[in-house]
Structure 1
Amino acid sequence: MTFKLEPGSLIVSCQARADNPLHGPMFMGAMALAARDGGARGIRANGADDVRAVKAAGLPVIGIDKVFSSDVPVYITPTFAAAERLAEAGADIIALDCTPRPRHGDAPQELIRRIREELGLETFADISTLDEGLAAEQMGATYISTTLSGYTSYTEPKPEGPDLELIRALAARVNTPIVAEGRFNTPALARAAITAGAYAVVVGTMITNPREITRGFAREVAGGK
């Protein structure tokens, strides 16, 4: 059985890099349970092991598989093999980089088609611009997410706040549900995304990364240094 995202959902990104003390499936599974109890209605997780762990929360799981390469910028689920690993682990939705940037792997339109036809799962297109969102809709993506705004070379430098303008622009041009992601670090900003036209909102660092939250407080206490 797979789950679908409901409108107005808060999706919590349960991820921790290898250098983070909370790295690993046990901690991510606990984060997902805490997020569920707090009212989250979806989880985003990286890698098959973490996807299996967060499934225990009983919420829709957006799976990604980060495959890094030193010579290309695309790393979010760049191949169908990566998507298969996530499907086998129980992901309900597969997220992938839908920018036109160089990659080692499959073209995003081919990935979307195969995930839909061969795995029978929904797709979550991570994009950074309006044109990329329009292209993702034509590819047949189930959801379009602003995940990569500020994180591609042509949308840098990364702004301090979320890209609400991109959400508004997408809402005016596409029929595909839009998911807001990226620097939504207060409840008010998350609500602003819904007001701007988002179907759902993903929040990560400000809920599941106490190390970064602590750093922010520590800087302010030390006088902003």
Structure 2
Amino acid sequence: MAPERGQQPPETSETQSPSAATSSDAGRADGKDTAGTGPRVIRIPSPSRLFTRGYCRRERSSQDVVTPIKASNPRCFLDVDVSGEPIGRLVVELRADVVPKTAENFRTLCAGTLGYGYQGCPFHRIVPNFICQSGCFETPTGKTGGCSIYEGRPFEGENFALLHLEPGLLSMANAGPNKNGSQFFITMVKAPYLDKRHVVFGRVLTGMQVLKTLSDLGTVSGTPLRPVSIRACGVL
């Protein structure tokens, strides 16, 4: 089960609508006028417009740049596509100083040294102002928990020392307690109700504007309005 807004035990496997969605949110998701006056048109930004609003704006501003917590922690990058067009890069710090096993799982999947990994993987679930979820390279819809680097098997929740205190945190989606694979999500808001359920293992150093751009493509159900994927990834 995927992370649920305002509820506890978010897990991976099946995408579900957040139970905290308001009636007005539901109206926007299904294309109905929230005032009940008739249908409304949902305007979907073109990839080129998203590129201008997201990547170029990020390049012009350094306000979203965060200093690494520890210089020895590994850093990775994720280049993001919308409908095949690049919109920008996320640079993340992995908290190997707190959760080394979880950090190494993500780092290796970014590097792709085992013959599989995050390159080409879709962001199969985007809920506006909540999360962007990816990491399932087995099925494009995220129906499985993914595949870890540890003999392909699920691994334990290392610890819950890091909390979901702010936007831009990387955390493991899971198929239940101690069933972590490769799926992960990035928070767009503070989400304390996910604490003690999901292992936080990193944070975005640069590229918060890219996340804001992705939020524009999210829906209450989580299905993105346009295909979003990891064009390229690696270790810095």
TM-score, scaled to structure 1: 0.28
Higher relative contact order (CA 8 A, sep 6+): 2
Considering fraction of residues, name the structure with more helix: 1
Considering fraction of residues, name the structure with more strand: 2
